[in-house]
Each structure stands twice: as structure tokens, then as C-alpha cells.
């Protein structure tokens, strides 16, 4: 007998509710919208590109330009790829980059110089509460210090940044505190901690599994989809701190169905593949505490100095997150898996910086695959028995027996979230209430992958 595991999330989204609903309004109507519209032939004028296509073009141009390449970013307003180059003797490569469709601009700092500056920060200013990432929009290193970096620590950081030279880095102060977003509560549970499931995957041996944050994986070995419930998965690999923040958790039942999708509450978004992030790209995050939120990628290859240790190779964004969102999925509106929530500062009321583990790096490290066969029943997930039928509630997936009935408002109900007794199975809202009219905390509408 197979079991479709749907980790639960808190639907009473508190302060993050307004942000989540706004993001949903942006995401859902445009899930399959194309941003194409530029000329098909190679022209000197920058081409109009989707963010995913811009990422592919950036990778190609990085190889073609060589040392002249100084980073790139996606201009979402113009829907164009902007490529930085340092002036040199070979102007032909710049001409070729323009022919490929990029908006090429000349800058002062090469990637080698920027990476050298980042290495200096690592050796001289690895201070808990600091982070840095290369920002191609300013052609500088963006250095951030949280509220704990004061006194001698601040002086040391400021001196190191100044020592990099004028025009090499910017130093900013964050009002919050850098921390991992793990907490006690609902969603996936282990050892008294709550995290979020990121993406369902297929492990190297073909077994169903999922990705989550590494700091969740090192916290405890076994995870459940209900507080004090029986374990459903066991940590196979986990990295934190160090070169990443990711963990592979294999489902204990090898017959578990692990669809490659993210559950947005009232419908799911199919995840087709993993992709690299692009600075300037619009992204969406799903987490067990705050639900759905959106924002932009601000920097790549970020280093974050958490209290537990230094983590490298992360994606920096302005997408909000809160404790319990750790491990949650970062993705695009067209179903590309981008990252796993690591940590940051602030919350979904005041905002702040948030960092994500790139999915591509995590998949390569653990030897897992995403999409296709990783769906664990892909033939049925789009509209068949499992995704749109018996398991999900058939044609009544939004308000039917399973999604809006016993599973959503009854059995798991609002009681577990402190919202009163379990409802009568008729709730469809996201707020929850004492009379059971809202979808409860353990409503089965959390991430499915």
C-alpha cells in the first residue's frame, strides 16, 4: 500500500498572511505565462528573455568571455540579461555577447578581484552575524552585519572592508539577527524542532526522499509529518555548517509517493527541474510558518556567519522567512526548483535578508534527482487518481472530501494549531478560527515537495 506524504503547515499565517496572499495572487494566474517577446534572430539589441533563459545565456557567456566576464543579472523590468565586462584588448567577445542578446556594460571590478576581496573577508572578518555576496548590479561585494556586530567586531569588519579599496565593497547594517529558521511547532518534526520540507526527490538508489535544510538534518535523525507522530523519514546525508546547508531525508516506506510539486494551499505547482538562480530573478518561497512569499534574488555564492558556524555558497534574497520555514522550497512561477530556506534576519513583518541553499548543488552532493521519475507516480500526478482523484479529493480537490473535508478541516483540524477544535471539514480559508471554519494547522495543505 502506498502512502502520499503531505507534510502539514500552519495555515493561520499571522503576520506573513498578507504577504503570502499577495504572492499567491502574483504567482497563480501567471504560472504558465511566457515572458518571451524579443526577436528570434541574433541582433545587437538586447533580447527579451525569461529569467530561466537568461540564466542559461549567462552561463554560456561566462565561458565565452573568460576573464572579461564580471558577473551578470536579470533586469526583470526590461526582461533582459545584463552582463558585466571589464575593458580589454579583445572587443570581439563583447560584440559576440551583444549578438547573443545580452545588454553588455563595462565595469571596473573583475570577478577575480571580487572573489579575492571575498577571500580577504573570509580570512580577516569571519565574525558571527556577518555575510557577504557579490552583487553584479553594483559590481561590488555587498557586506552585511546584523545587530550583534558592535564595538570591536564592527571596527574590525569596517576596517577590513575599507582595506579592500575604494569601490570594491559596500557595508550595510541589518536591524535583525542572522539565525537559522528552525523552531518548535508543526510541519515536519524531529527532536522537538520544526522545519519545512523542501522538494521531493529520488535518491541515488531509486528510493523516494526529500530535501530540507542541513541544520534541520543535523538536529535529529528522524522526522515526522505530525507533532509527536511516528517517523516517516530518516536523514541519509546532512551538511551544516560548511559548504552548504542541505539534507537528504529518505522516506522509511519505500512505497511512499513523492510527487514533484509544491502545494500552495488551494492547488499545487508542478516542479519540473532544478535551476540556477539569477540575480534580479523573481522567486517564491513556501514554508510551514508563513506560507507563500515572494521577492528577488540579490546575490549569489553568499557566505553567512551563523552562530553555529560559517556556511558558503548560498543565494541571498529579500524574500521574508521566519522560524519553522527552514528547509522550505524556493522556486519560480514556471516550476523550477531554486533553493532551500537556510536562514537570515528579520521576519515577514519588517522584512530582512534571507539565504537559501541552491538546489542544484544539493542534488549533486547527495546524488539525487528531481522531477520526472522523482514524481513517484508522475503519470497520475497531473490529474489522475493520486493527485486529482482519491488521494487529493478528485475533481473537488479544493473543496471536496479530502482537501476541504476530513483531512483539511477534520482529522488534522485547527486544534493542533491552537485555533480551537477541529472543524467540520468545510473550511476553505487560510486564517483558521475557533469555530473550525478555517483550515487548521495540520490541514494537509503544506508542501508536498
- Residues with catalytic annotation? 215, 245, 326
The span from the CA of 194 to the CA of 326, in Å, is 8
**Taking CA 178 as the corner, what is the angle to CA 175 and CA 184, rounded to the nearest 5 degrees?**
115
171 to 109, 120, 126, 174, 351: CA distances (angstroms): 17, 15, 14, 10, 18
Cα-trace Rg, the chain: 22
Whether 161 contacts 173, CB under 8 Å:
no
Whether 330 contacts 338, CB under 8 Å:
yes
Beta-bridge mates of residue 282: 296
Query: What are the φ and ψ backbone dihedral angles of 252, each rounded to 5 degrees?
Result: -70, -30
Which phi-psi region, left, alpha or beta, contains residue 365 (left: φ > 0; alpha: ψ -120 to 50)?
alpha
Whether 189 contacts 223, CB under 8 Å:
yes
**Exposed / middle / buried, residue 319 (Cβ in 10 Å: 0-12, 13-18, 19+):** buried
The span from the CA of 375 to the CA of 449, in Å, is 9
Whether 16 contacts 322, CB under 8 Å:
yes
98 sits in which H/E element: helix 92-99
Give how far the C-alpha of residue 17 lies from the chain's centroid of Cα atoms, to the nearest Å.
18
Instruction: Respond yes or no on whether the N-terminal peptide bond of residue 130 is cis (omega within 30° of 0).
Output: no
Q: At what angle do helices 92-99 and 51-65 cross, to 10 degrees?
A: 160
To which residue does cell 522526522 refer? 223
Nearest CA to 32 out of 242, 267, 240 is that of: 267
Q: What are the helix and strand counts (H, E) for the chain?
A: 9, 23
251 sits in which H/E element: strand 246-251
Amino acid at each position: 500500500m502506498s502512502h502520499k506524504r503531505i507534510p502539514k503547515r500552519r495555515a493561520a499565517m499571522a503576520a506573513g498572511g498578507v504577504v503570502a496572499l499577495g504572492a499567491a495572487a502574483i504567482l497563480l494566474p501567471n504560472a504558465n505565462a511566457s515572458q518571451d517577446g524579443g526577436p528570434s534572430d541574433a541582433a545587437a539589441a538586447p533580447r527579451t528573455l525569461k529569467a530561466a533563459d537568461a540564466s542559461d545565456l549567462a552561463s554560456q557567456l561566462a565561458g565565452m568571455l573568460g576573464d572579461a566576464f564580471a558577473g551578470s543579472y536579470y533586469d526583470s523590468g526590461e526582461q533582459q540579461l545584463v552582463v558585466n565586462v571589464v575593458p580589454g584588448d579583445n572587443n570581439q567577445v563583447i560584440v559576440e555577447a551583444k549578438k547573443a542578446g545580452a545588454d553588455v556594460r563595462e565595469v571596473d571590478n573583475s570577478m577575480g578581484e571580487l572573489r579575492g576581496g571575498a577571500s580577504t573577508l573570509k580570512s580577516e572578518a569571519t565574525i558571527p552575524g556577518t555575510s557577504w555576496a557579490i552583487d553584479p548590479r553594483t559590481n561590488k561585494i555587498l557586506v552585511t552585519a546584523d545587530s550583534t556586530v558592535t564595538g570591536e567586531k564592527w571596527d574590525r569588519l569596517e576596517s577590513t572592508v575599507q582595506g579592500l579599496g575604494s569601490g570594491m565593497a559596500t557595508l550595510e547594517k541589518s536591524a535583525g539577527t542572522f539565525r537559522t529558521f528552525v523552531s518548535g511547532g508543526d510541519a515536519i518534526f524531529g527532536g522537538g524542532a520544526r522545519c519545512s520540507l523542501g522538494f521531493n526527490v529520488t535518491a541515488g538508489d531509486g528510493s523516494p526522499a526529500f530535501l530540507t535544510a542541513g541544520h534541520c538534518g543535523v538536529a535529529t535523525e528522524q522526522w515526522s509529518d505530525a507533532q509527536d507522530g511516528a517517523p516517516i523519514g530518516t536523514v541519509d546525508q546532512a551538511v551544516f555548517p560548511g559548504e552548504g546547508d542541505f539534507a537528504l531525508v529518505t522516506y522509511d516506506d519505500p512505497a511512499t509517493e513523492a510527487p514533484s510539486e509544491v502545494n500552495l494551499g488551494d492547488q499545487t505547482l508542478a516542479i519540473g527541474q532544478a535551476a540556477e538562480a539569477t540575480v534580479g530573478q523573481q522567486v517564491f518561497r513556501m514554508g510551514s510558518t508563513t506560507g507563500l512569499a515572494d521577492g528577488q534574488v540579490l546575490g549569489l555564492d553568499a557566505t553567512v556567519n551563523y552562530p553555529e558556524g560559517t556556511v558558503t555558497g548560498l543565494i541571498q534574497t529579500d524574500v521574508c522567512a521566519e522560524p519553522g520555514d527552514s528547509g522550505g522550497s524556493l522556486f519560480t512561477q514556471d516550476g523550477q526548483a531554486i533553493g532551500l530556506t537556510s536562514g537570515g534576519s528579520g521576519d515577514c513583518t519588517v522584512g530582512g535578508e534571507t539565504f537559501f541553499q541552491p538546489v542544484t548543488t544539493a542534488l549533486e552532493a547527495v546524488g539525487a534527482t528531481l522531477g520526472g521519475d522523482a514524481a513517484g507516480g508522475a503519470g497520475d500526478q497531473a490529474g489522475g487518481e493520486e493527485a486529482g482523484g482519491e488521494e487529493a479529493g478528485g475533481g473537488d480537490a479544493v473543496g471536496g472530501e479530502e482537501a476541504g473535508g476530513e483531512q483539511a478541516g477534520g482529522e488534522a483540524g485547527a486544534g493542533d494549531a491552537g485555533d480551537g477544535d477541529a472543524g467540520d471539514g468545510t473550511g476553505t480559508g487560510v486564517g483558521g478560527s475557533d469555530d473550525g471554519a478555517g483550515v487548521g494547522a495540520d490541514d494537509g495543505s503544506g508542501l508536498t515537495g
